[in-house]
Amino acid sequence: MKKVDFLVLAIVIVVLLPFFICKPVYDTFCTLTRNYPLWMAFLKFGILATFGEMLGQRVKTGQYYHKGFGLFPKFIVWGFLGMWIALAMSVFKVGIPAFMEKAACFSGVSEAMQGGFTWLKLVGAFFVSVMMNTSFAPVFMTFHKICDMHIASYDGKAISLVRPIQMRKLIQEVNWDVQWDFVFKKTIPLFWIPAHTLTFCLPGDFQVLFAAFCSIILGLFLSIAAMRKS
């Protein structure tokens, strides 16, 4: 590890420690999450997912940041994608249990999803995760990839946020071998479905936060995918 790695680790500890040792900080976080769920999702994903991409850059290039990385545009894009994820999670964790009760005779699963951990909640969380990751996730991952390519085409400059995305061009430039064989076929069943099963087993205040922490892993996956491409 280099000095910069120890510095980054120290910053992470300093930022996270108050949530564990200072109850007012923890209570304020929970209150803000309940009262402003979308804006909190924006901040959680904007900060954590962008940090995940920086970790990915560290793995890929040996540096957390480089010219053209696009720190601010990535933060903004991840923030809005985080709001999209928060909305999707809210829809799936209500709709799928309701469908399970009506069509698959899983009586009480909707109520179980609102309470503490039980085996019925685990089953409900698994089905929610499967449905979200086999329908919403591929679209989300592809759209994020296109946004990332769009930012890169402007060398990471903030002007990329107000310029139209050349959707047809960028879709054709996506490496679908990597996107399908690695991102979809491997990361979804082997990581995202188990990870989001755990996510939906957590108390509601922490589900989006844990999903945002998982996005740090996504940053590493993106770097691995880029290395596979090269």
**DSSP-assigned letters across all residues of 187-229:** IIIIIIHHHHHHHHHS-HHHHHHHHHHHHHHHHHHHHHHHHHH
Q: Kindly state the average pLDDT of the residues 16-43.
A: 87
Predicted confidence (pLDDT) at residue 147 exceeds the cutoff of 60: yes
In angstroms, the Cα distances linking 46 to 62, 74, 83, 121, 172 are 22, 8, 10, 29, 27
pLDDT in tens, 158-169: 999 999 999 999
pTM listed for this prediction: 0.87
Q: Which residues contact 211 (CB under 8 A, 6 or more apart)?
A: 85, 89, 196, 199
Determine the pLDDT at residue 61: 79
Q: How far is C-alpha 117 from the chain's CA centre?
A: 23
Predicted confidence (pLDDT) at residue 197 exceeds the cutoff of 70: yes
For the chain, give every domain's residue range.
Answer: 1-35, 37-229
Mean pLDDT over each residue of the chain, to the nearest integer? 88
**Residue 26 pLDDT grade (very low, low, confident, very high; cuts 50, 70, 90):** confident
Q: Kindly state the average pLDDT of the residues 53-70.
A: 83
Give CA–CA dist 125/113, Å, rounded: 7
pLDDT in tens, 95-141: 999 999 888 778 889 999 988 889 999 999 999 999 999 999 999 99
